[in-house]
Structure formats: structure tokens, C-alpha cells
């Protein structure tokens, strides 16, 4: 028997499809003590790196390890301490996914981690190709106006340009740290740490008029002062870029 539902729409609610941007954590080990130490080393001094971002746990590296039990009761509060909100899990074996669901996470087998495409990358492509290109779709991720710092940064000071580029007009002294989700421009000596593309933007670059850093990093690929810089870029105007994506290497080009 065919049943016809009433056509009157509810007055108090509507249900629609929605797309939610998620941060993905690829969990490579069930050793939560080691995970805690590495999270603290990476994000402990950047308390505002995340802003209550929803997160999906990708368990695929542990799927084949039948004895890799994950203590979600300890893992989820640990992650929330870094201002991320675990909402789903994917990629685990049957036991791991059952434990994730029991801990209140949703199953998200369709979640796919894809490289982000931002407006600056589109503009760069348009300049390189010298031909018209379609602009980013409405609602696509874009970087906000650059954060401009016009004072010297002393040892112990840290500046983070969340979701945008960072422009520093004065010296970044040893022991200071500049971080940006986009590009970093230092129009003065860079003698501290510079971390560009902090949330995985492999297109980010670091530019300085005098490159003498303690550390430079783009999208997690880094180089410290323990490895001396080539003579053609040390203390000179230089652009640092990442070649080969997240598994690539840093390339330093002298600026003429």
C-alpha cells in the first residue's frame, strides 16, 4: 500500500545537506604517551593554532594492526586540550571503528583529505600561465589581509598570523618566532624562527632581505641553523619555497 505524507513543511525546522570543513589527524601510533609528547612539542607554544576546529580521526595507518587498540577515553580529551573537536573517525578496522563509535564519534568512511586550493595559489597560477583562469568558487578558502608587524621582535616573542600572510618590517631577533598560515615576508634581518604554511599550505613562501634564521619551515618541512646556509643566500635577500609538496625539500633562491 502506498503511503502519502502530508505536504505541509514543519514550522520549527528544516533538514538540509551541509558541507563541513574538517581538520584530519592521521593517527600513526596507538601510543598516546608518545602522541602527547609530540603534540606538546608541535603545538604547546601555539595555543591559538586551532580554534575549535572539527576533526576527523584517520585510523587507516593502524587498520592492519589487529592488536592496536586505541584508548579513545584518553585520546579525545587530549585532542580537545588543543582546541580541536573530534567528531568522526574513518579508516580503522572493525574493532577500532566500534570503539570510536562507542566513544561518541561518527563513522565517516567517505571523508577524503584533499589539498586545499586558495585564492593566492589561483592568482599565482594565473600570473605564471599568463592566461585567464576561473576565479575561486564562492565560499572557497581565502587568506585574509596580511598581518603587518612594524616593530622588532625580541627573544621569546611569538607572532602567529592565523589564516593569512605575515609581513614584518623590522628585525626578527634570535629566539623570536614568526608563524603564518600563508607567506612570511621579513623586510629586515631574519635571525629567529620562521614557520610559513603552518597548517599545511605547501604553496607558502618565506622572503627575507637578510636570511640568517635559527629555523625555517614550510608546511612542516624544516631546516635548522645546524645545517649552514649556502654562501649565496646567507645574510642576503632570499626567497624560500617548498618543492615536491609535503614530502619535498626547501629551496632557497637569491633575490636580485
pLDDT in tens, 130-168: 334 444 444 444 446 899 999 999 988 889 998 899 999
Tell me, what's the pLDDT at 134? 46
Query: Alpha-carbon distance 208 to 244, whole Å?
Result: 22
Listed in order, strand segments (DSSP E) in the chain are: 23-26, 53-58, 84-90, 106-107, 144-149, 158-161, 164-168, 177-180, 184-190, 193-196, 206-211, 215-218, 221-224, 238-243, 249-254
Spell out the domains of the chain, with CATH numbers in brackets.
23-107 (3.30.70.260), 119-132+142-254 (2.160.20.70)
Query: Alpha-carbon distance 75 to 27, whole Å?
Result: 11
Mean pLDDT for the chain overall? 83
Could you say which DSSP state residue 30 is in? S
Could you say which DSSP state residue 52 is in? S
Query: Alpha-carbon distance 132 to 14, whole Å?
Result: 40
**Angle, CA 68 vertex, CA 36 and CA 42 arms, to 5°:** 20
Does the structure show a pLDDT above 80 at 99? yes
Pick from 26-40, 128-142, 230-244: least confident = 128-142
The reported pTM is: 0.56
Tell me, what's the pLDDT at 106? 93
Amino acid at each position: 500500500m502506498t503511503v502519502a505524507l502530508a505536504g505541509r513543511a514543519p514550522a520549527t525546522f528544516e533538514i538540509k545537506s551541509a558541507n563541513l570543513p574538517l581538520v584530519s589527524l592521521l593517527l600513526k601510533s596507538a601510543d598516546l604517551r608518545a602522541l602527547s609528547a609530540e603534540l606538546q612539542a608541535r603545538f604547546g607554544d601555539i595555543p591559538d593554532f586551532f580554534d575549535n576546529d572539527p576533526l576527523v580521526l584517520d585510523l587507516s595507518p593502524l587498520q592492519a594492526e589487529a592488536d592496536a587498540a586505541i584508548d579513545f577515553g584518553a585520546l579525545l580529551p587530549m585532542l580537545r586540550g588543543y582546541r580541536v573537536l573530534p567528531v568522526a573517525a574513518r579508516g580503522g578496522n572493525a574493532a577500532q571503528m566500534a570503539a570510536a563509535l562507542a566513544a561518541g564519534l561518527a563513522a565517516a568512511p567517505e571523508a577524503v583529505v584533499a589539498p586545499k586550493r586558495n585564492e593566492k595559489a589561483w592568482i599565482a597560477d594565473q600570473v605564471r600561465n599568463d592566461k585567464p583562469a576561473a576565479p575561486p568558487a564562492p565560499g572557497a578558502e581565502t587568506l585574509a589581509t596580511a598581518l603587518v608587524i612594524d616593530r622588532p621582535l625580541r627573544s621569546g616573542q611569538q607572532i602567529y598570523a592565523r589564516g593569512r600572510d605575515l609581513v614584518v618590517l623590522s628585525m626578527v631577533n634570535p629566539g623570536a618566532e614568526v608563524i603564518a598560515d600563508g607567506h612570511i615576508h621579513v623586510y629586515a634581518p631574519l635571525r629567529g624562527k620562521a614557520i610559513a604554511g603552518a597548517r599545511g599550505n605547501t604553496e607558502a613562501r618565506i622572503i627575507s632581505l637578510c636570511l640568517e634564521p635559527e629555523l625555517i619551515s614550510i608546511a612542516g618541512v624544516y631546516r635548522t641553523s645546524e645545517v649552514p646556509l649556502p654562501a649565496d643566500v646567507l645574510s642576503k635577500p632570499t626567497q624560500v619555497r617548498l618543492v615536491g609538496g609535503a614530502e619535498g625539500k626547501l629551496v632557497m633562491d637569491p633575490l636580485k
